[in-house]
Amino acid sequence: MARFLIAPQWQGSPSARAMLLVDGASAIAGDLPRAATTVLEVPVEAGDSLGTAVHRLSSLTRVRALIAEHMQPETVLIGGDCSVTVAALAAIDTSDLAVVWCDAHPDLHTPVSSPSGAFSGMALRAVLGEAEPQLSLDPAISPERVVVVGARSIDDAEIEPLSGLRQVDAADLATPEALADAVAATGATRVWIHIDVDVLDPAEFSGVSSAEPFGVSPTVLSAAIRAVRARVPLAGATIAGFAPRTPADAVDDLGAILRLVGSVA
């Protein structure tokens, strides 16, 4: 049975509306089975960069420790900003793991290239072991075991690192087995699936800080994830980036969210 870990971290987000991520995590938590759900008490304060180029680093490291304390096998982690995935991966055995990164943004900045200093924009680079040392994975995930899904808002500094990773476009998911084939090609025996909900098409999902057109539908993404799970065991998953502007907006989007939850749980 899946366990749900709610990590309403907002400190990794570059958005001026980052605190809406707390509301989004709470809205999702309200529809999960209470006995299988743990809600972390994330620091309220922004935190300090501690002399690095990563904003709010002190709070990010505190949340990382909280996540490590509560991680269990087959955990579904609910963010918060999507950098919580880095903390989850740091707490498990990743030696045989592939990472599927479903996100409109590839999150491949370094502290040097980032225009915002926000860690969520460096999260996948940290999974690869190439971001701020206090937050990067060690050992890192090999680029050969990373699959990027639905990335379509790509900064110049991200083009080169993205070119070395397997990519599946939103349109590719019209073929149900496309993502499963990409994961199988990594040779990994388990997979972690990260979903930043801005990978979804804004015509079908509105609760994100920065909507990008031409995304994937919740139904198609859920089907692709189920196809992956039919071939490679799931080590865990993340659903992050839900930032509804009002409670009514949260209700409108929860059907899509719960479809994604069902596909990973």
Measured between alpha carbons, how far is residue 45 from residues 53, 62, 157 in Å? 18, 11, 30
**How high is the pLDDT of residue 73?**
87
The per-residue pLDDT for 176 is: 86
pLDDT at site 2: 87
- Those residues whose C-beta lies under 8 Å from the C-beta of residue 9, and which sit 6 or more positions away, are 21, 42, 59, 60, 63, 79, 80, 81, 83, 84
pLDDT score, position 101: 98
| Contact between 123 and 13 (Cβ < 8 Å) | no
Classified as helix, coil or strand, 139 is coil
Q: How far apart are CA 80 and CA 21, in angstroms?
A: 5
| CB-CB neighbours of 44 under 10 Å | 11
The DSSP output letter for 128 is T
Say which residue the tokens 């799970």 belong to. 229
Q: How many Å apart are CA 221 and CA 217, to the nearest integer?
A: 6
User: What tokens does 90 get?
Assistant: 């740091």
Q: Which residues contact 128 (CB under 8 A, 6 or more apart)?
A: 136, 137, 140, 141, 143, 146, 161
DSSP state of 53: S
**Geometric angle at alpha carbon 18, from 124 and 204, rounded to 5°:** 80
The CA-atom distances, in angstroms, between 156 and each of 56, 83, 107, 109, 198 are: 25, 21, 12, 10, 20
| Whether pTM exceeds 0.85 | yes
Q: Are 128 and 146 in contact (CB under 8 A)?
A: yes
Predicted pLDDT at 159: 98
Task: List alpha helices for 81-229, DSSP H.
Answer: 84-90, 123-127, 156-163, 178-185, 218-229
Average pLDDT for runs of 10 along the chain of length 265: 94 95 97 96 94 97 97 94 97 97 98 96 98 97 98 97 98 95 98 98 94 96 98 97 95 96 96
Contact 54, 117 (CB under 8 A): yes
DSSP letters spanning 203-221: TT----SS--SS-B-HHHH
CB atoms within 10 A of CB 141: 22
pLDDT number for residue 219: 97
